């Protein structure tokens, strides 16, 4: 393939029209659908996230790579195809995208992969459940999610309910500090704990409404090339009880250790261990928080498009 035939990121017609008219667009990732949540809830969550973005007045753009085509704005049948276990879709971070498109691979995109595609076409808001972060023992293993470095070089606002519980939360926040990525609580001065409302770690900044979040991000990107983490706590009614959470967390650590899992396999194993120990409650919490994050991302994108386009 000659360099001139290297394909761009493909954008659905609806997303293209929204971008051309400077209307709000929210990028959504697909790893949570394909590797993060069990079927059949995964597709229900994919639909509910798109619906939440639309209800806010923005256009959803779910990212993925279909047989080597990197797409922003997957159709429902594409999401289904990607989630079909028979496809064995890969988990694609930012560094994998070129290889995946060159080799005709099917893959779901992580936060890092999604913001790389989003930024390329001019989408600057995305939603996920929990950002990747620094793993326990990372000072030995060097296991830190590529989501962090990606945020440090990609000016996209990501809405997340903190980072996955198994991670080293204080270390993750230290890295985000070093990388120049602001962490802003949505109606809170504490970093959310993914399945829990509050991780116990204090934050320097918070905003109280979508317009303030949009203004903060607009000001941030005027003076900095980095991304922006808007940390939206799970609704109290959807959070796990703390004792159940702590038991599940111990089991998740054990599952990762016993399986000898490393790299991109760790997060899916951890999520599955939580689902087992909580008898599915963690999956419902995960569903609720990611849909709420999509809704908030929609409202922030609308505020951004109306005021700072
Ligand atoms: N949030 C969820 N479930 C998930 C993820 C986020 O509620 O499965 C995914 C995101 O795609 C995130 C990835 O980028 O987990 C992090 O994986 P890793 O730790 O391997 O970088
Ligand atoms: Mn990792």
SS3 108: strand
CATH of the domain at 134: 3.40.1790.10
Enter the tokens of residue 202.
């204090």
Tens of pLDDT, residue by residue over 142-160, are: 999 999 999 999 999 999 9
Ligand 1 atom closest to the Cα of residue 113 is: 14
Give yes or no for a cis peptide into 267 (omega within 30° of 0): no
Q: From atom 20 of ligand 1, which residue's Cα is the shortest distance away?
A: 264
244: Cα separation from own chain's centroid: 24
Please return the burial class of 308, using the count of CB atoms within 10 Å of its CB with bins 0-12, 13-18 and 19+.
Answer: middle
Structural domain range at position 28: 3-307
Task: Output the pLDDT for position 203.
Answer: 98
Q: Please say whether the dihedral angle defined by the alpha carbons of residues 300, 73, 36 and 164, taken in this order, is positive or negative.
A: negative
| CB-proximal residues (5 Å) to ion ligand 2 | 143
Q: Which of 65, 64, 59 is nearest to 15 (CA)?
A: 59
Question: Rounded to the nearest 5 degrees, what angle is found at the Cα of 197, between the Cα atoms of 149 and 35?
Answer: 50
Ligand 2 geometric centre to CA of 27 (Å): 22
Number of domains in the chain: 1
In the predicted model, what is the mean pLDDT of the chain?
95
- 115 close to 132: Cβ distance less than 8 angstroms: no
Give per-residue pLDDT as tens, 9-49: 999 999 999 999 999 999 999 999 999 999 999 999 999 99
> Which H or E run includes 70?
strand 69-72
pTM for the whole structure: 0.96
Q: How far apart are CA 38 and CA 59, in angstroms?
A: 25
Mean pLDDT of 54-74: 98
Which residues form the pocket of ligand 1, taking CB atoms under 6 Å from any ligand atom? 29, 31-32, 35-36, 110-111, 128-130, 132, 145-147, 264, 267, 286, 290
Q: At residue 98, does pLDDT exceed 90?
A: yes
Using the predicted structure, report yes or no on whether residue 2 has a pLDDT greater than 50: no
Q: How far is the CA of 148 from the centre of ligand 2 (A)?
A: 11
């Amino acid at each position: 393939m000659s360099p001139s035939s290297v394909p761009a990121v493909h954008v659905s017609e609806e997303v293209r029209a929204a971008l051309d008219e400077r209307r709000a667009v929210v990028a959504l990732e697909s790893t949570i659908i394909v590797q993060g949540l069990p079927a059949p809830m995964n597709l229900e969550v994919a639909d509910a996230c798109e619906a939440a973005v639309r209800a806010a007045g923005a256009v959803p753009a779910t990212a993925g790579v279909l047989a080597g085509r990197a797409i922003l704005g997957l159709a429902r049948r594409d999401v289904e195809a990607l989630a079909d276990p028979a496809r064995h879709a890969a988990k694609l971070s930012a560094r994998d995208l070129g290889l995946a498109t060159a080799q005709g691979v099917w893959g779901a995109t992580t936060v890092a992969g999604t913001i790389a595609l989003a930024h390329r076409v001019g989408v600057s808001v995305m939603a996920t459940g929990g950002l990747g972060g620094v793993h326990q023992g990372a000072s030995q293993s060097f296991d830190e999610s590529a989501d962090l470095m990606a945020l440090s070089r990609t000016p996209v606002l990501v809405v997340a309910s903190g980072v996955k519980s198994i991670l080293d939360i204080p270390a993750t926040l230290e890295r985000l500090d070093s990388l120049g990525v602001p962490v802003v609580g949505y109606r809170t001065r504490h970093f959310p704990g993914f399945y829990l409302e509050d991780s116990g770690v204090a934050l320097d900044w918070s905003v109280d409404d979508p317009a303030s979040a949009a203004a903060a991000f607009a000001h941030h990107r005027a003076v900095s090339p980095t991304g922006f983490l808007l940390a939206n706590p799970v609704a109290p009614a959807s959070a796990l009880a703390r004792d159940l959470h702590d038991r599940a967390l111990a089991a998740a650590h054990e599952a990762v250790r016993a399986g000898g899992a490393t790299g991109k396999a760790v997060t899916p194993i951890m999520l599955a261990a939580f689902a087992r120990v909580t008898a599915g409650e963690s999956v419902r919490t995960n569903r609720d928080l990611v849909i709420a994050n999509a809704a908030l991302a929609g409202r922030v994108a609308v505020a951004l498009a109306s005021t700072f386009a």
